[in-house]
Amino acid sequence: MFIFDECHRSQFGENHKSIKEFFPKAQLFGFTGTPIFDENSSYTQVDGTDGSFKTTENLFEKELHAYTITNAIDDRNVLSFHIDYFGEGKKGKEQKKGETLPYHAVVKKILAKHDAATNHRRFNAVLATASINHAIDYVEEFRIQQEQKQVEDQDFTRFCRNNYQKRRPTGLQA
């Protein structure tokens, strides 16, 4: 019997195939908090043959049990949180799958509601992006918009500058 934690990372390569070939009668169990579904799978094609999308279900077959973030919140294993989604437009203009809002619109909305949403910055907030490159683009957009807000609002300047200096890891340029 093999039990894999974080199987969405460790079992999507030759490793999984090798284990199954070497131990053909083994039972394999995979745990993951971020399963790979058709929507976020990658296409694999070997030597020009027909390819396929690799999902967690392809590798581990039947799901034995699902423990969702909702279950964890209900069980008090994690703190509850609130999610704001950006992308719901006016009627008839809903965002299509794979389509993203302009970075400047999202950042502008976040900056406008950040103090209220974090109880005047007593709580933290997280911005989840689709990729590292998107995160880099957001950082740049936040920098641009915060510089503009600093010009317009002295209180914003003082808080951001002091807060940034306190939290900035050593070795990074301001």
What is the average pLDDT score of the chain?
Answer: 77
Rounded-to-integer distance, Cα 144 and Cα 138, Å = 10
In this structure, the answer to whether residues 58 and 104 fall within a common structural domain is no
| pLDDT at 98 (0 to 100) | 59
Place of tokens 């990729």: 131
| pLDDT at 82 (0 to 100) | 74
| DSSP-assigned states of every residue in 9-46 | HHTSSHHHHHHHHHSTT--EEE--SS---GGG-EEE--
Rounded-to-integer distance, Cα 30 and Cα 113, Å = 40
Identify the residue with better confidence: 106 or 45.
Answer: 106
In this structure, the answer to whether residues 114 and 42 fall within a common structural domain is no
In this structure, the answer to whether residues 60 and 112 fall within a common structural domain is no
Single residue among 45, 72, 99 that ends a domain in this structure: 72
Segments forming the whole domain that contains residue 115: 81-167
In this structure, the answer to whether residues 54 and 125 fall within a common structural domain is no
In this structure, the answer to whether residues 88 and 155 fall within a common structural domain is yes
| pLDDT at 17 (0 to 100) | 83
In this structure, the answer to whether residues 91 and 150 fall within a common structural domain is yes
pLDDT band at 127 (very low <50, low <70, confident <90, very high): confident
User: Does 172 reside within a domain?
Assistant: no
Is there a contact between 39 and 87 (Cβ–Cβ < 8 Å)? no
What pLDDT, in 10s, does the model give residues 128-172? 887 888 889 999 999 999 889 888 887 775 445 445 444 444 444
Give the number of domains in the chain.
Answer: 2
In this structure, the answer to whether residues 28 and 46 fall within a common structural domain is yes
53-59 mean pLDDT = 79
| pLDDT at 25 (0 to 100) | 94
User: Does 41 reside within a domain?
Assistant: yes
Rounded-to-integer distance, Cα 5 and Cα 11, Å = 10
Identify the residue with better confidence: 138 or 93.
Answer: 138
In this structure, the answer to whether residues 49 and 9 fall within a common structural domain is yes
User: Does 157 reside within a domain?
Assistant: yes
